[in-house]
Structure 1
């Protein structure tokens, strides 16, 4: 029996038990692996630290000589594909090969933690630590974004209450409230119902904090000056003449920046095997960039030979946005990893064969994986496929995937990092090294920035998603014209689309053909520096399921938390 086979049959304890029993290195020792001394850290306990601004400034003076590895996935199932587990495990595997490296992942939102997906600190023997803190309040970065977002919202309404000097059109306030929790009852609300002393009434809404433009701003800013500039550009409303009103017009750029200055500094932690890890920022991939902060990437590429990071959802969302938005901030991948699972392959093949549990369904799902691989190759990036093996996968299924990828000339490895940690990803790490060192990376964005906005959207829809074309609703056409009038049509596009399908219909599996992408609304995220195009029925405020993950979480009398996963 091979090590991969035996690993998948070994029972793995709950994530929280593994995390609690793991040996922990002092955070100063973890920083030492990156050449940082204690003076570069502001400790938050024994296992977490924020980098000081002095250290960040010094590091940013160095050349970015590290290799960037971007972990993405085929179109995932509802359970996900295991990108964070693979990212962490790959970092640990590179460490076992003696390669200087760091990992960079997003901070978990409390919405998913208490909702369906659970935590986002990895899993099994490939986690970032301290798992409980990272999944809950951590260093308060997300709370800071929530507070800053709601300060802006409160100031808009206060300005209206006090004579409305900016002539805010109450029907064109585009900045709602934010909350880091799944709460469907707050999607559409009415505020100001307490009479004239409590502010004039108007319709309002809440988004989850990860969907706030301020979260995207935080994760794209490279220093405090850049942060302030981006905050000032954010459009919060329009006046009765239709002109935009920004945070700068509200005269609170300094206050909002003050709330976010600490949050802008990357957080340093470690994996279960002691690999340095940056856990910083957390924008959703269906409404924003879906990756950790650019600043953490810049720092990691200057401190380690390899930086392993991830992009949310499938490659059609997270990886496309990384290439077309994030990489334009100076962080281009040298290699990519596409995570595939037997479950996802069967899901995408089942509609054509009728039996989701068969090997035929698995093979019928290959076109979805191929589509993502081909997209990344078209973007000029070397690709390695990581088969994230689950205990339920049998040898014939794994062999079928390996044979298919080999026939297409795709480097492929079976990953058992969930069960084995770094040891289960050594083969993957070797292939990733070979891809990153090949010098074949030649980043090709999907569109040039000077292309018309509708052509940028059409390029992503046809080249990345596989659509025949794009249909703009009449309202979306008006939005296009308005964005052009504002002079913001030279920005990249951030398309909000379901992660469950390559199309804008979550029910369409595999690689849908003969369809058009429907764009129903566009609006500028002027501070973040992109234009959002809404398709389908994507929600910026999720709701809790009938049996949320929160129901499994308990705390003993001694304060020990259980049930997090």
Structure 2
């Protein structure tokens, strides 16, 4: 029995891993750590429609199956889906498809091991404590929203009837909530407790009040005891997969928990990490938030997924895919184009390769992964394996110094301009503010100041349409803009959510 096995427990048809405990064990027993896995980030083109994915999960599963077929010790780390959107069928399941799918995909698509529900219940309990604090005269305004996995736009803005007075409240999707962000970013239960204590419950006479000022945090952390443990599963071909934390890089972080990735890196040579939506969303957040500000592993390589139709069939939008690939390359990350073919597209392979060559991209990897699984990729991975193999025995992959230089302390608006320029290709002078943004910014600064914080020390999270990078992606390059709409401070997570361009914080499932 290995040391790792002591931190694994069966949970129905899958297993759960005490990642916090295992990583603590490795800190005190460094001789037990034999692996320092390299991260391959799977990201994608910006989809033509928000409800249609490019196939990142299918690609991730096919990729680890193919790598293992080639003798590479590879594993994947996936995000847990939200039942309200993904499992409702808007983009298919969140467990791949066809030959590139997980064993027991129904568990993933319909709630897995209850992590999402536990986080939902815990944040809603916090709101209940806040409501009681209003009764006790400790609060007169509630700022933390209720959450639900099932979206309902009727509940975006609600009013609680208290008889003599009404208290306005809000509701957001569970994956977007502050408690989910805290679980994604934290590396111990103690850190979760500190961050929950630092969440802003509301205000009293205009002054902010933190949850740590009036509740015992064990009530919340006890509810999360199993939710903080990644699920351990396999693909249908038997490759190891870890699943943990929430999706939706359009309205939140959209990345798996940092501890699930670090745990996988301690056990495998190559760890394929899936980040939400396109490279302008999930990859931007892995690089600029997880890696730069929270010490997550820098990718040794990236695979940028697209469909043949997304890449080429909308002439005004063709700039987006090479933009994503070239951004990765510009950061020193070898970026491999991967075209996820659909039935009937095999005859386009030659044309797609010519298009990639004309754009100066690396030799593309192409295949119908739903139909053929990892077998479609195994013979095409020489270049990717060549990039990874010389570095498997080393430590952390090197990133350009500028890429990992913290932006904390930089003016918040300048941070947003930097994101627009680096991730969306819109220079600072064409980042504009909606009429209400100035008030939103002033309120955020005032809230932080009242708590003894500096807004500029928080990390911005872009809330944006998953189907667009700018206000109008079809506009000529010299006319593209990004509009700043509003912001919301998450003091416990250390983040500030900033709405850009077209954004919906409560997206609805597509009827299928």
TM-score (norm 1): 0.81
Q: Please state if 1:218 is matched with 2:192.
A: no
Contact preservation (8 Å) 1:368, 1:511: no
Match of 1:459 among 403, 413, 418: 418
Q: Structure 1 unaligned segments of length 5 or more: list them.
A: 1-31, 353-364, 550-565
Match of 1:448 among 398, 407, 418: 407
* Equivalence map 1:137-156=2 (5 Å): 137-156=111-130
Q: Please state if 1:496 is matched with 2:457.
A: no
Per-residue deviation, residues 299-355 of structure 1 (Å, max 9, x unmatched) = 001110010011111101111111011113222111111002112123432xx5xxx
1:265 is aligned to: 229
1:14 is aligned to: none
The aligned length equals 487
Match of 1:343 among 309, 334, 357: 309
Contact preservation (8 Å) 1:192, 1:202: yes
Q: Please state if 1:85 is matched with 2:45.
A: no
Q: Tell me, what secondary structure is at the counterpart of 1:138? A: coil
- Give the stretch that moved more between structures: 528-537 or 58-67: 58-67
1:21 is aligned to: none
Match of 2:498 among 510, 523, 533: 533
The CA deviation at 1:503 is 0.8
Q: Structure 2 unaligned segments of length 5 or more: list them.
A: 392-396
Q: Separation in 2 of the partners of 1:215 and 1:188?
A: 21
* Equivalence map 1:200-279=2 (5 Å): 200-241=165-206, 243-279=207-243
Contact preservation (8 Å) 1:218, 1:227: yes
Per-residue deviation, residues 388-431 of structure 1 (Å, max 9, x unmatched) = 11113242x33222123234042421133221222112144433
Contact preservation (8 Å) 1:235, 1:246: yes
The CA deviation at 1:60 is 5.2
Q: Separation in 2 of the partners of 1:59 and 1:270?
A: 24
Q: Please state if 1:68 is matched with 2:66.
A: no
Q: Please state if 1:310 is matched with 2:274.
A: yes
* Equivalence map 1:506-545=2 (5 Å): 508-509=473-474, 512-545=477-510
Query: Measured at CA, do residues 60 and 87 of structure 1 come closer, stay the same or move farther in structure 2, by a change above 3 Å?
Result: farther
Per-residue deviation, residues 497-521 of structure 1 (Å, max 9, x unmatched) = 111122134xx34875413211111
- Give the stretch that moved more between structures: 474-483 or 448-457: 474-483
1:176 is aligned to: 145
Q: Tell me, what secondary structure is at the counterpart of 2:225? A: helix
Q: Tell me, what secondary structure is at the counterpart of 1:109? A: coil
1:9 is aligned to: none
Q: Separation in 2 of the partners of 1:389 and 1:344?
A: 11
Query: Measured at CA, do residues 89 and 509 of structure 1 come closer, stay the same or move farther in structure 2, by a change above 3 Å?
Result: farther
Q: Separation in 2 of the partners of 1:345 and 1:325?
A: 27
The CA deviation at 1:96 is 0.6
TM-score (norm 2): 0.89
Q: Separation in 2 of the partners of 1:80 and 1:266?
A: 24
Q: Tell me, what secondary structure is at the counterpart of 2:374? A: helix
Contact preservation (8 Å) 1:497, 1:504: no
* Equivalence map 1:372-411=2 (5 Å): 372-395=324-347, 397-407=348-358, 408-411=360-363
Q: Please state if 1:157 is matched with 2:131.
A: yes
The CA deviation at 1:53 is 5.3
Q: Please state if 1:116 is matched with 2:90.
A: yes
The CA deviation at 1:183 is 1.9
Q: Please state if 1:188 is matched with 2:157.
A: yes
The CA deviation at 1:255 is 1.3
Contact preservation (8 Å) 2:305, 2:339: yes
The CA deviation at 1:438 is 6.2
